[in-house]
Amino acid sequence: MFIIRRYIVEWDKINNFKVPPNFSSSVFISVLIPARNEAANIEKCLSSMLQQSYPSNLFEVMVIDDHSEDSTVEKVKKLESRQIKLLQVSGFIKSNERLSFKKKAIEIGISNAKGSLIVTTDADCIAPKDWLKTIASFYEIFKSKFIAAPVNFHHEKNLFERFQSLDFLGMMGVTGGGIHGKFMNMCNGANLAYEKKAFEEVNGFEGIDHLASGDDMLLMQKIAQRYPNEIGFVKSKDVVILTESQPDLNSFLNQRIRWSSKTSAYKEWQVTAILLLVFLFCCSIVLSLILVPFFGFTMALIFIFQLTIKMVMDYFFLGKMAHFFERKDLMRSFFPAQFLHIAYIVLIGFLSVFVRKYHWKGRKTS
């Protein structure tokens, strides 16, 4: 309860960022898009890049293909734009080299980037037209070494996907509140910006390159250790990256196990502590329900009390996020989504301990 209240307080303190009138940026941006088997999405993603309001002479878009087995490469090549460059991971590594492919793709992109500011997103994402313009102005005004920005889901088709969208709204509130309050550094690789120089100063992914995940938060925490007061969050609807939720339980579990696989490598104990508290609280709710037949009315009251606290706090928190991101429609699914959320936290918590291998993008990873 106190944790959620802290996030709400810190979120409210963040000023809504708008590009100042007549602001003219001069920073050159390199947008990096690692891609693997994204033939169904890459054209929409790149189309949103080419429609940016930021001056075309001040940014480049680099697609780094990670051994795609579909027509991703062919679709990128068909786009006739001098702003879009295609790099292929296969041309930069040895055939027997074991590595985290996404981190390697980003490293390849950075080593070939002309920009002093690196911006990353994913190949299944769509960016709003003022995305780069807003990030560039935020960077030039605040001089942040690392910038996190919001990501949202869209095009939900059922309760399961709406649950994921609500969960992600909460993550954005946690991300913004934690960064502003300087007590928790979280981010999502689909919407990041950082100085190329800062990446090089912390030796990039060195020390975390053995992990399949962590190209976002673990890098953020490395840079935050060096520049603790130069981490920023852009609270603006003009930078919200859109993507789609996972369509089924199997892909959802593989995604979340992949995310949780980096938890043990977090350098900031606050992140691990808060995740553990949330896990234990959800476990206590499930345990109370299981014990109702054995301890009767008293345990039922404990269960109802715990569930009520969680629902009330989450309702205010998620309602605030839904209002800001103009997704009030998702709140109609709040109550059934709460039960899915409790089950998800408990299940992923246990799976992240006992399951070390998962499938992602056609690869089995450990």
Q: What is the signed CA dihedral for 205, 211, 216, 221, rounded to 10 degrees?
A: -70
Q: What is the pLDDT of residue 234?
A: 98
Considering only residues 13 and 269, tell me which one the structure prediction assigns the higher pLDDT. 13
Q: What is the pLDDT of residue 91?
A: 82
pTM: 0.92
CB 41 within 8 A of CB 124: yes
- The per-residue pLDDT for range 118-153, each reduced to its tens digit, is 999 999 999 999 999 999 999 999 999 999 999 999
Q: What is the pLDDT of residue 267?
A: 74
Best CA proximity match to 347, nearest among 212, 243, 247, 250: 250
- The per-residue pLDDT for range 290-317, each reduced to its tens digit, is 999 999 999 999 999 999 999 999 999 9
Q: What is the pLDDT of residue 356?
A: 61
Residue 264 has pLDDT above 70, yes or no: no
Q: How far apart are CA 231 and CA 24, in angstroms?
A: 22
Beta bridge partners of 210: none
Considering only residues 35 and 100, tell me which one the structure prediction assigns the higher pLDDT. 35
Amino acid sitting at position 142: F
From the number of C-beta atoms within 10 Å of its C-beta (0-12, 13-18, 19+), residue 61 rates as buried
Read off the pLDDT of each residue in 23-30 and give the average, rounded to a whole number.
92
Residue 363 has pLDDT above 80, yes or no: no
Q: How far apart are CA 134 and CA 56, in angstroms?
A: 15
Q: What is the pLDDT of residue 45?
A: 97
Three-state secondary structure call for residue 350: helix
Q: Which of 18-22, 126-130, 213-217, 330-334 has the lowest mean pLDDT?
A: 213-217
Amino acid sitting at position 314: D
Q: Which of 116-120, 167-171, 199-203, 357-361 has the lowest mean pLDDT?
A: 357-361
Q: How far apart are CA 150 and CA 237, in angstroms?
A: 8
Considering only residues 78 and 31, tell me which one the structure prediction assigns the higher pLDDT. 31
Q: What is the pLDDT of residue 1?
A: 67
Tell me the torsion sign for CA atoms 97, 99, 105, 111.
negative
Q: Residue 100's pLDDT band (boundaries 50, 70, 90)?
A: confident
Kindly report the average pLDDT of the chain as a whole number: 91
Residue 166 has pLDDT above 70, yes or no: yes
Residues 6+ apart with CB under 8 A from 220: 146, 148, 185, 186, 187, 192, 231
Q: How far apart are CA 3 and CA 13, in angstroms?
A: 16
Task: At 344, list the tokens.
Answer: 């998800």
Amino acid sitting at position 20: P
Q: What stretch of H or E contains 137?
A: helix 131-142
